[in-house]
Amino acid sequence: MRSPEAYEALREKVKGPEDLEREMGRNEQMAELRFTLETEPEAHEMLKNAIETDIREKGAEAVLETIPSDPDAQKALREGRFMLHVSSHPVTHLDQLMVMPEGAVQESLPVKPSFTETYAVHLAA
């Protein structure tokens, strides 16, 4: 028999139909974004230009979850020298739009979820 605390913790892990539907919709959106980026070079370039513009106008802090500590990587971001891809977020493990600055040390930087969703919707339209 489980304690009430253990039972409550277990209940919090169980997903309801609304949660599953929302998760499935997000997964579908990320799969479509990944497919579009890999198969349509003009869509990839359009999205890259939109992110570059947002980084220039709003700052990398507003668009990306983390800012690279390497000054060369920061410069590459400001100059639009980066690649885009969809991959697993290092913390949440959910698919996320990622930016990878060019340079010696290449690390994938997650785009904030609100921007990822905006870009995905924009590409789908």
Identify the residue with better confidence: 97 or 103. 97
Rounded mean pLDDT, 116-121:
85
Q: Which two tokens stand for residue 54?
A: 């947002």
Is 62's pLDDT higher than 90? yes
pLDDT at residue 125, as a whole number: 67
Is 111's pLDDT higher than 80? yes
Is 1's pLDDT higher than 70? no
What is the pTM assigned to this prediction?
0.76
Any bridge partners for residue 109, and if so which? 99
pLDDT at residue 35, as a whole number: 93
Look over the chain and give the mean of its residue pLDDT values, rounded to a whole number.
Answer: 86
- Among 109, 93, 113, which residue's Cα sits nearest to residue 101? 109
- The count of domains in the chain is 1
Give 48's contacts (C-beta < 8 A, 6+ positions apart): 80, 82, 84
Which range marks the domain in which residue 68 is found? Answer: 4-124
